[in-house]
Each structure stands twice: as structure tokens, then as C-alpha cells.
Amino acid sequence: MNRSQRSSTDVDRAKTKGLREEIISAQSASAEANYRRSVRERKIQAADESIERLVAPAAIERALSVYQQMKPRDLSVILQARKILTQRIYALVDQGEKDEQRLTVGGLVHLKSIERDRTIRSASDSRHKKQP
């Protein structure tokens, strides 16, 4: 090989090495970005899980406690109210609400609107009406 062929080969090798380094650098940057994204997603998921496991049940219990204090009610009415509150509060969590007080108030407002539109009946009320 003569001198010009060697320098051409050296240039080609240098270009190939440079390209290889750029590819490796891009891959490591992409891998780092993926890692950061997965860490962020895990943090968000953990926060969402803590809302569902801690905040939502506390909001349900608090709303049910307020509901019971408003007026004495039969156990069957309380159970229906708990079901309605649970569905509504978890729907609010799915919509992105995270504040326990807002969840509590949202659940109570929904429960009162249902109670206003149609009466939540006690099991003992329905037994009395069926018997002549």
C-alpha cells in the first residue's frame, strides 16, 4: 500500500470510529432518558397508588361520618351511602383529584343529590310497605 492509500484508509477508520462513538453516545443518552422516564413514571404510579390506598378510603370514611351525623339513619341506608360514596370518590380520583377534603365534599355533594332526586330507602321501610 502506498502512502495515499494508507492515509485514505486511516481517514475511513477515523470516520468509522467517530460514527461508532456517536452511535454509542446516542444510545447511552437514549438509555439514560428511558431510565429517567421510567423513574418518573414509577414515582407517579406510586403517588397514584398511595392516593387510592390512603387518601380515598379516608375521604370515604370522613364523608360517611358526616353523613351519619346529619340525621340518624338505618344501617341499610348507611351501607347504600357507603357504596355510592365509594364509587363517586374513586371516580374523582380517576379524574385526577388528589385532595382529601375535595374528595370528601365531592362525595357528599353527590350523595345529597342522589338523596334529593330519589330517596335512599331503608330495608325496614320496604318491609313495612309490602305487608298489608
pLDDT digits (tens, 9 = 90+) for 80-91: 999 999 999 999
Give the CA dihedral 84, 90, 95, 96, nearest 10 degrees: 140
Domain of 26 in residue numbering reads as 3-130
Domain count, the chain: 1
Name the pLDDT band for 102 (thresholds 50, 70, 90): very high
The grid cell for 34 is 428511558
Cβ burial 113-126 (10 Å sphere, 16+ → b, else e) = eeeeeeebebeeee
Residue pointed to by grid coordinates 355510592: 84
Rounded to whole angstroms, what are the CA distances from 49 to 70, 83, 118, 121? 31, 20, 34, 34
pLDDT digits (tens, 9 = 90+) for 59-80: 999 999 999 999 888 999 999 9
This prediction has a pTM of 0.59
27: Cα separation from own chain's centroid: 32
Furthest-apart CA pair in the chain: how many Å? 116
* Predicted local distance difference test score (pLDDT) of residue 109: 95
Rounded to whole angstroms, what are the CA distances from 102 to 15, 31, 107, 114? 61, 40, 8, 18
pLDDT digits (tens, 9 = 90+) for 17-58: 777 777 777 777 777 777 777 767 776 666 667 777 788 999
Residue 57 carries which side chain, given as an amino acid letter? Answer: P
